[in-house]
Chains A and B, each alone.
Chain A
Amino acid sequence: MVAAAFSSLITMETEEAQIATGLRRRDPDVLDALIEQYEHRLLRYLAHMTGNRATAEDLFQETWIRVLEKGHQYDGKSRFSTWLMTIAHNVAIDHLRKRNPASLDEMRDAEDAAPFEPVATGLSPFEHAAAAEDKARIQAAFDELPAIFREVLVLRFQEQMKLEEIAKLVGIPLATVKTRLYRGVMALRPTLGGGAL
């Protein structure tokens, strides 16, 4: 079992190192393979970040152009997926800042000012929503959330990333990741439950 884990670690290191070498050379075959491998994950992340499919597709292309241009900076020591998501995060943040320069800072201020404490009690409206499989409604509720909360929720639940990885990727303290996760989850409840809390 230990041998298998070690072998898998070696394989991963080799794979990441190969990607790093390919990116340094701007090898088109490596880039083609990476685009195919991460197509759905990357688009999903950007779609959740922007809340708009067309914008997400533009940013998807922009992300891969940036991967090509900054490929020499990837050293192959960390996971490629984390590095890719960091690039995508920066592309999305640049886009959101251009679209509405004040919005991100305003959200940060509000977030920092509020204490991290459990809030209202009651039955989760999510239980009803999930049971009814009302995907459109869930999507709409999710899109209502500010981008900084959506991002943490997507990285956590869809990308299955650890809290520390999210903190590194987004460039925020671990405590802020927890706060955003908590607030994101709690903010979804009233929206889905028709305001009942």
Chain B
Amino acid sequence: MNGKEHGRAIDLITRHDIEGIADADARWLEIHLQECEECASFDRALSGAAHAIRSVTVMASASLIESTRARVHLRAQQLREQQARAMLIAVSFCLGVVTSTLTAWVWWKFGGWVAQSLGLPSGIVEPGVLLFWLLPAIVIAVLMVTYPPALFEGSLMQRYMKDRLRGMQ
């Protein structure tokens, strides 16, 4: 008997319980186990281990299930709020970009008129125009950063997201 036969026997012993083995393999294994005490010993150990492990019972308590559900629901609520907040930031960002782009020409002309009327040098006017041009985006960014998440609860966007999620379900 060589190592290859032992390897085949071990493989068949391991598989026969769950995957199942072909009849020819089963017959070969039966003969092999009668002749090989090493493999027969492994066969017995495997059956014993399977029986022992299956006999161990671990039950989840009702309190564990309840607390798990509570934690999962709370986390789901947090994720929904984060999602709604991210949506609000994205919409605000897009509005800021659109507003800044559309008003760029107006601000530039306004700056030119102010500079001409007051006789200001272009070194002051140009940064000023730039500041006013970016003002909507800066205001939105400050509001987004300082806006407490607690105040977000009940906002129009929050209600919109809740309705959307309800609609999806």
- Give chain A's interface secondary structure class: helix
Residues A130 and B48 in contact in the complex (CB < 8 Å), given A121-B41, A124-B41: yes
For window 87-115 of A, CB contacts with B under 8 Å fall at none
User: On chain A, which size bracket covers the interface?
Assistant: 35 or more
Number of A-B contacts (CB under 8 A): 145
B91 within 8 A of partner (CB): no
Q: How many residues of B contact A (CB 8 A)?
A: 46
Q: Does B64 have its Cβ within 8 Å of any Cβ on chain A? A: yes
Residues in chain A near residue B53, CB distance under 8 A: 138, 142, 153-154, 157-158
Kindly identify which residue among B45, B56, B65, B165 contacts A135, using a CB–CB cutoff of 8 Å.
Answer: B56
Q: Any chain B CB within 8 A of the CB of A25?
A: yes
Q: A35-B68, A61-B67 are in contact. Are A28 and B60 (CB under 8 A)?
A: no
B44 touches A118 (CB 8 A): no
Cβ-neighbour of B45 out of A39, A160, A178, A185 (below 8 A): A185
In chain A, residues 12-46, which have Cβ atoms closer than 8 Å to a Cβ of chain B?
A: 25-28, 31-32, 35-36, 39-40, 42-44
Q: Are A138 and B10 in contact (CB under 8 A)?
A: no
What residues of chain A lie closer than 8 Å to B56, measured between beta carbons?
44, 48, 135, 138-139, 142, 158
By a beta-carbon cutoff of 8 Å, the part of chain B in contact with chain A is 3, 6-7, 10-11, 14-15, 18-19, 37-39, 41-42, 44-60, 64-65, 67-69, 71-73, 75-76, 79-80, 165, 168-169
Listed in ascending order, the chain A residues whose CB lies under 8 Å from chain B are 25-28, 31-32, 35-36, 39-40, 42-44, 47-48, 53, 56-57, 60-61, 64-65, 68-69, 116-127, 129-130, 133, 135, 138-139, 142, 153-154, 156-158, 160-163, 178, 181-182, 184-186, 188-189, 192
